[in-house]
């Protein structure tokens, strides 16, 4: 039986750097609001905390974050 560690694919540093460039380009092309919500939540702020601070609906923030992740996943392809 194979474990995750045995099947995990290693990527060369050059390929990772290229993917990071692609990710930055994707994020740069997002609407400012979407980019900011994604950045704050990705850097450790909870959706609830952000909702409380901004008075923006939890579900609105959740959907924005989810849609940005989906956009990144669809536009950043790993082999």
Tell me: the pLDDT tens digits for 23-46?
899 999 999 999 999 999 999 999
Burial of 51 (0-12, 13-18, 19+ CB in 10 A): middle
Quote the pTM value.
0.75
Question: Which run of H or of E encompasses 4?
Answer: helix 4-7
pLDDT recorded at residue 45:
95
Please tell me the distance from the alpha carbon of residue 70 to that of residue 36, in angstroms, as a whole number: 16
Domains of the chain: residue spans and CATH: 23-79 (1.10.10)
């Amino acid at each position: 039986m194979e474990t995750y560690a045995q099947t995990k694919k290693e990527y060369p540093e050059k390929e990772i750097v290229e993917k990071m460039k692609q990710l930055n380009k994707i994020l740069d092309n997002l609407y400012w609001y979407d980019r900011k919500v994604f950045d704050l939540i990705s850097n450790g702020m909870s959706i609830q905390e952000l909702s409380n601070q901004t008075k923006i609906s939890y579900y609105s923030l959740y959907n924005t974050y989810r849609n940005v992740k989906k956009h990144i996943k669809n536009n950043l392809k790993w082999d």
